[in-house]
Structure 1
């Protein structure tokens, strides 16, 4: 008979359970190191990269034709597991096999695959993903580096026109990279065709910069000092025409440009859409680091004692304090919720890679990836800080690991997309879908749409009256009604989005930017409400498919805590819009308190179910 912890772990492991456990076993073979000087840390990371390559870690997501396994979803899961270990190793693996190798795979042709992917997988060819520039980070479409085709020589001339156009924060650039995927404005025949990717050698076999290539070290960072981030500049560097990754845009020997994708904007977003795996991977890795911090903090909270209980003389275990439960257990519930949402997203990525994907579904995938990355990395930043504080001064010591997690994950909120910008992209996608459903209706169609909305609200509120009645009468079990919770999330999302659409509809061509800019708080709220609803639905689905009755009952309570703590965090909106009365708002907080107390005995089991290798949790506070 499977015990409850194992049942939880089986559910968490999900579709890629065998791969996940194999990756955990491999991670368990990596000997943890702490507080190495920067150069020693970089050398250790490179050595461990070669160990991972020898054990086949990078093969998962690459094409079968080049010796890989063709499992795109599995590649994200195996990367996610590395988040339990040294995060510099995880990030360098992401640069080499996710970004650099992924760009060659997604943007190149079979000729590029055959030529470069075997060396990328084996670490014989360390490389860089050179997109971000000093002057342009999120605004990729307006990068300033140029790749100008010279038909006389059959070469591209890659050039950095000014300081703001240098490639910045590039992983693998400062020390180990030999080849870079450089994103540049493609120019041929005097005409610019937008951003494309060109393979540019940056070092010779002895590790020296090649002629025309300037390489600088970014220097010490707040964290991730085992990753050799650098800056790249190019002074009219020439590369063969074959070095253009030309799946979506090709240049003939005479300079004629062609593309299977019509329109510069559509082509740009198609190319960037193929790289969505990196964003999904960051969300998963942030989740792993957060789980590790929670495991450390909860283990410590079960041991640490402070102040005596009146009448007994015994010191109290700090996790018995409601304030401490309030710190850690809602965050743990959110980590479970985000885990299941991440699993659904990885499935969607995997299915999209395996077949034809229409524009609408691709937009939905990219939007969900953007939203979950933003929410997951913000959750990591907040929760790891909370765990640090929950461990007091001990949490500030490097030997207890949480300080390192805090430093190493801080950048997650801005790489692979600044979180605020990503939520704007989510809102844009929601508005596009809203317009598709509403914007093209004729006047009579609009009347019918508004009428349908009104009828829907009446039906919804009628169905909820019995629950609301119990709430008014003081019964807290109504708050635990899953249908009521889902309706609150759905209603908030719909109301916020409709209000945003009405605000933006007032804009004219002359003031469109100002109207949109003035609604930014509304934009971000709409995106966050959408992501919260998606995450809750993923959690509910996971609870429903849990086969073990005891594990399902526990998860059901964790799901309640996620739902109600999310509502509590946005109580102002629910109160302002009449979804909660003041009395019901107080009842939500009381229910969160009761759920925290009820889950306190299960806290250790919930973090143990993550299956984190014990070697990577070895710290004095857990001994």
Structure 2
């Protein structure tokens, strides 16, 4: 089979960007970082960041009028591709151009764009994104840093009122950053107007700390030690009025506050919604790190032998064992599903960024996109954590050696589950988006307010079906109505099963939250008691999105053999997902006990059928070879595989 046909489908809409980056990587020297100390690693990553700046790739996501490429999707794919290599470089690039540069572009106005975007793109102005505080991470609305306007000097005074308000874990802060986008409570005329973003210098051009700014180094971390994470505190730091990134709110010289969005909470959500590119980039990079780990493990599993069959002197290849197949192949199938979902997410964000002036449509699509980005990021990063661990175990002791890359991948991706949004909080965001539409004047962001709003507004199960593809509708309509085992591989039945589970869980969650309206009900306790249900509903929703994206991806494949193989990979994703949640399907009468056993048996059969194609499936990711060869166990396995193929060809001749 021509694996190139699968690669073509995976490369998708931004195939040219992916090919360009592969070519650039192939021509560049690649250095693994596992033997570097912290300072040498940081220095190496900064040098590589400068090379990226010189390449011009970082310009893709910025506006053409300032020297950018007006290609948001291409920019996100470019960040994704960094996930194949040193993830410290991906994070460092994401901080500089995704978070710092993105905040200036999306939250600022022309005065900021004209002054700062070119220096940011060219790395002449290294910067930070200072949102998280020691005492507040996910609860951004209640950050404690303040920026108080002084009309006498037309300046904002930025203060850290106590240690819990210290900006923490800030990338680029400990070593390289010269300016930070600082998120703080804007106070003017004695009134707080909620969280806004401000440009605050933290070092001068010679690297000296700015007056009133305190910078501390977070020190060595479990991973990502090429990123200089630091802590920032401010004591009466004065910045000019123009330092306010004023796309959504402004302060006049006399201190008068104005905004095109009247509601403080709606303005806050709009501001944060503009910054989802970082979340999307993390999801894509986690996916590529997962691909790299699985490619190493599959190559090793194809070559490593252990134990012999009775009467046979040759030991058995690891990947011929069913248990080994079950470790790697369902993880590989889910990786494919997440890839297609990520491709759709990038496309949707790109299209929304290029949309015309339709405020109502924009807001609706923006909320939908935020929810999808939250769900895909949570699933992609949790999947990276579990799959890289599985790959490490599948490589035994060899997988524990630093030289074989897997320990670094495990350490570097571990934090992905909690930065750019804690995954559990993100799934609650998904659930809230499913249960309700955002209210124009949603005054509070607390769980208590959320529960009350759901109880007041919910009328039936709220599910967005506007984006459902005609293909999916046809499959559902054509799905069988009987319950025999053959239907397990019917795509219509599979989609129906996922949709039915999602709808049932949402209906049940809404019913539990309706209790808030009871006179004796404690709203917080009701919400808190339903969290497990809400998270399950959100997970079911994301899995349905993954399936629909996978189905659409398979449909785009023009090569019949490649399409048939992808179809089988999709089956494995579906049935291994159902297998993992069999308790729910059994408890709710969606599967009989016999049919539940058939799901397990079919997963085994699919693993056996896909085992001969495992190498093709990981090779189709088209990971630049040096990133795989960096692991000696993978390089050695590849040489062994090629020797076997040459011997086979010679025997045939």
Give the TM-score taking structure 2 as reference length. 0.90
Q: Does 1:10 align with 2:8?
A: yes
1:55 is matched with: 55
Q: Does 1:389 align with 2:393?
A: yes
Q: Does 1:368 align with 2:348?
A: no
Q: Which runs of 5+ in 2 are unaligned?
A: 440-452, 462-474, 637-653
1:481 is matched with: 490
CA distance in structure 2 between the partners assigned to 1:437 and 1:142 by the alignment: 22
Give 1:433 shift.
Answer: 4.7
Give secondary structure in 2 for the equivalent of 1:83: helix
Could you say if the C-alpha distance between residues 402 and 349 of structure 1 is closer, same or farther in structure 2, counting changes exceeding 3 Å? same
Give 1:33 shift.
Answer: 2.4
Give 1:25 shift.
Answer: 2.3
Equivalent residues of 1:32, 1:615 under 8 A apart:
no
Give 1:21 shift.
Answer: 1.3
Could you say if the C-alpha distance between residues 497 and 241 of structure 1 is closer, same or farther in structure 2, counting changes exceeding 3 Å? same
Give 1:205 shift.
Answer: 1.6
Give 1:463 shift.
Answer: 8.0
Q: Does 1:621 align with 2:633?
A: yes
2:646 is matched with: none
Give secondary structure in 2 for the equivalent of 1:406: helix
Could you say if the C-alpha distance between residues 253 and 466 of structure 1 is closer, same or farther in structure 2, counting changes exceeding 3 Å? closer
Give 1:566 shift.
Answer: 0.3
1:595 alignment partner, one of 606, 627, 630: 606
- How do 1:215-364 residues align onto structure 2 when only pairs under 5 Å count? 215-355=215-355, 356=358, 357-364=361-368
Instruction: Please list the CA deviations of residues 519-563 of structure 1 after superposition, one character each: whole Å capped at 9, or x if unmatched.
Output: 111010000000000100000011111111111000000000000
- How do 1:538-617 residues align onto structure 2 when only pairs under 5 Å count? 538-617=549-628
Instruction: Please list the CA deviations of residues 560-579 of structure 1 after superposition, one character each: whole Å capped at 9, or x if unmatched.
Output: 00000000000000000000
Equivalent residues of 1:32, 1:616 under 8 A apart:
no
CA distance in structure 1 between the partners assigned to 2:69 and 2:506 by the alignment: 42
1:378 alignment partner, one of 382, 389, 398: 382
CA distance in structure 1 between the partners assigned to 2:530 and 2:253 by the alignment: 49
Instruction: Please list the CA deviations of residues 467-504 of structure 1 after superposition, one character each: whole Å capped at 9, or x if unmatched.
Output: 41x32xxxxx3211001111110000000000111111
1:123 is matched with: 123
Give secondary structure in 1 for the equivalent of 2:512: helix
CA distance in structure 2 between the partners assigned to 1:27 and 1:262 by the alignment: 48
1:449 is matched with: none
Could you say if the C-alpha distance between residues 30 and 253 of structure 1 is closer, same or farther in structure 2, counting changes exceeding 3 Å? farther
Give 1:506 shift.
Answer: 1.2
Give 1:360 shift.
Answer: 2.1
Equivalent residues of 2:108, 2:247 under 8 A apart:
yes
Give 1:24 shift.
Answer: 2.3
Could you say if the C-alpha distance between residues 441 and 176 of structure 1 is closer, same or farther in structure 2, counting changes exceeding 3 Å? closer
Of 31-40 and 213-222, the range deviating more from structure 2: 31-40
Could you say if the C-alpha distance between residues 461 and 52 of structure 1 is closer, same or farther in structure 2, counting changes exceeding 3 Å? closer
1:455 is matched with: none
Of 332-341 and 508-517, the range deviating more from structure 2: 508-517
Of 322-331 and 30-39, the range deviating more from structure 2: 30-39
Instruction: Please list the CA deviations of residues 382-403 of structure 1 after superposition, one character each: whole Å capped at 9, or x if unmatched.
Output: 0000000000000100000001
Could you say if the C-alpha distance between residues 184 and 462 of structure 1 is closer, same or farther in structure 2, counting changes exceeding 3 Å? closer
Instruction: Please list the CA deviations of residues 106-136 of structure 1 after superposition, one character each: whole Å capped at 9, or x if unmatched.
Output: 0000110110011111111000000000000
Q: Please, what is the CA RMSD of the aligned residues?
A: 1.9
CA distance in structure 1 between the partners assigned to 2:86 and 2:480 by the alignment: 52
CA distance in structure 2 between the partners assigned to 1:433 and 1:233 by the alignment: 38
Equivalent residues of 1:127, 1:179 under 8 A apart:
yes
CA distance in structure 1 between the partners assigned to 2:329 and 2:456 by the alignment: 43
Give 1:440 shift.
Answer: 6.3
Give secondary structure in 1 for the equivalent of 2:157: strand
Give secondary structure in 1 for the equivalent of 2:232: strand
Q: Does 1:91 align with 2:91?
A: yes
Equivalent residues of 1:27, 1:82 under 8 A apart:
no
Query: How many correspondences in the alignment?
Result: 600
- Tell me which stretches of 4 or more aligned residues in structure 1 moved more than 3 Å: 433-442, 460-467
Give 1:617 shift.
Answer: 1.0
Give 1:159 shift.
Answer: 0.4
Give secondary structure in 1 for the equivalent of 2:84: coil
CA distance in structure 2 between the partners assigned to 1:258 and 1:294 by the alignment: 52
1:408 is matched with: 412
Q: Does 1:518 align with 2:529?
A: yes
CA distance in structure 2 between the partners assigned to 1:284 and 1:197 by the alignment: 26
- How do 1:525-540 residues align onto structure 2 when only pairs under 5 Å count? 525-540=536-551
Give secondary structure in 2 for the equivalent of 1:578: coil
Equivalent residues of 1:396, 1:403 under 8 A apart:
yes
Instruction: Please list the CA deviations of residues 124-176 of structure 1 after superposition, one character each: whole Å capped at 9, or x if unmatched.
Output: 10000000000000000000000001010111100000000000000000000
Q: Which runs of 5+ in 1 are unaligned?
A: 447-459, 472-476
1:493 is matched with: 502
Could you say if the C-alpha distance between residues 616 and 190 of structure 1 is closer, same or farther in structure 2, counting changes exceeding 3 Å? same
CA distance in structure 2 between the partners assigned to 1:575 and 1:33 by the alignment: 48
1:422 is matched with: 426
- How do 1:103-142 residues align onto structure 2 when only pairs under 5 Å count? 103-142=103-142
Could you say if the C-alpha distance between residues 483 and 47 of structure 1 is closer, same or farther in structure 2, counting changes exceeding 3 Å? same
Instruction: Please list the CA deviations of residues 232-272 of structure 1 after superposition, one character each: whole Å capped at 9, or x if unmatched.
Output: 00000001111110010111111111011111000000000
Give secondary structure in 2 for the equivalent of 1:156: strand
Could you say if the C-alpha distance between residues 238 and 595 of structure 1 is closer, same or farther in structure 2, counting changes exceeding 3 Å? same
CA distance in structure 1 between the partners assigned to 2:354 and 2:299 by the alignment: 41
Instruction: Please list the CA deviations of residues 152-209 of structure 1 after superposition, one character each: whole Å capped at 9, or x if unmatched.
Output: 0111100000000000000000000000000000001111100000000000121111
- How do 1:176-191 residues align onto structure 2 when only pairs under 5 Å count? 176-191=176-191
1:39 is matched with: 39
2:516 is matched with: 507
CA distance in structure 2 between the partners assigned to 1:280 and 1:216 by the alignment: 29
Equivalent residues of 2:352, 2:362 under 8 A apart:
no
